């Protein structure tokens, strides 16, 4: 694969890329919810993607992406990160990577250009799937929170006599 050199370049610079991305996310008004997350934790999360990019693009299956990004989104939802900000942070991750590649690995011949296009296609496919599964995970976390809140409200209503414990027609499962 011609784009493998570019992937290795990204992996080699993963720590610097992660630091820069974490700083960008923390400074952006569009991702202000992320300021709740310690900078080191944010950098570590970015580093996981960049450091293992070759594995993510070439070896991981769609099921792997689904599991990972559903779990990440559920964690971010629990941390109070709103969905639109989470998705924007994923887009910032991709864009930060492309700015790095333009600075470091500009195509100076047709073979290198082909490698960059190949990598662009793989990255786009990866980030599209990451966004899709992140949205799914975030939505599921919100649904679970609503069900939990309803259960607590029902328990309270039963405890103060507003609702019968035998009234199963309005009980949340």
User: Could you say which DSSP state residue 99 is in?
Assistant: H
pTM to 2 decimals?
0.69
pLDDT at 129: 82
For the chain, list the domains and their CATH numbers. Answer: 4-163 (1.10.490.70)
Cα gap 113→59, rounded to integer Å: 23
Identify the sign of the CA torsion 75, 78, 82, 83.
positive
- In this prediction, residue 150 carries a pLDDT of 81
Q: How far apart are CA 39 and CA 22, in angstroms?
A: 7
Return d(Cα 84, Cα 33) in angstroms, integer. 10
Spatial CA neighbour of 120 closest among 15, 3, 39 = 3
pLDDT value for 99? 85
Three-state secondary structure of 127-162: HHHHHHHHHHHHHHHHHHHHHHHHHHHHHHHHHCCC
Q: Average pLDDT by consecutive 10-residue portion of the chain (173 residues)?
A: 71 92 95 94 90 83 89 91 92 88 64 66 82 84 80 82 71 58
The predicted pLDDT at position 37 comes to 94
Cα–Cα nearest to 54, from 94, 118, 6: 6
Show Cβ contacts of residue 26 under 8 Å, excluding neighbours closer than 6 positions: 34, 35, 39, 42
The pLDDT value recorded for residue 108 is 57
Contact 89, 102 (CB under 8 A): no
């Amino acid at each position: 694969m011609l784009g493998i050199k570019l992937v290795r370049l990204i992996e080699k610079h993963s720590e610097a890329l992660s630091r820069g991305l974490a700083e960008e996310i923390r400074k952006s008004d569009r991702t202000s919810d992320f300021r709740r997350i310690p900078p080191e934790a944010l950098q570590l999360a970015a580093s996981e993607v960049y450091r293992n990019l070759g594995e993510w693009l070439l070896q991981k299956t769609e099921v792997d992406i689904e599991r990972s990004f559903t779990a990440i989104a559920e964690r971010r939802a629990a941390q109070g990160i709103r969905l639109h900000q989470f998705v924007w942070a994923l887009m910032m991750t991709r864009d930060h990577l492309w700015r790095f590649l333009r600075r470091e690995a500009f195509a100076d011949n047709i073979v290198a250009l082909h490698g960059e296009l190949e990598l662009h296609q793989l990255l786009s496919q990866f980030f599209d799937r990451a966004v899709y599964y992140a949205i799914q995970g975030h939505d599921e976390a919100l649904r679970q929170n609503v069900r939990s809140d309803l259960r607590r409200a029902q328990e309270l209503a039963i405890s103060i006599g507003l609702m019968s414990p035998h009234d199963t027609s309005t009980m949340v499962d």
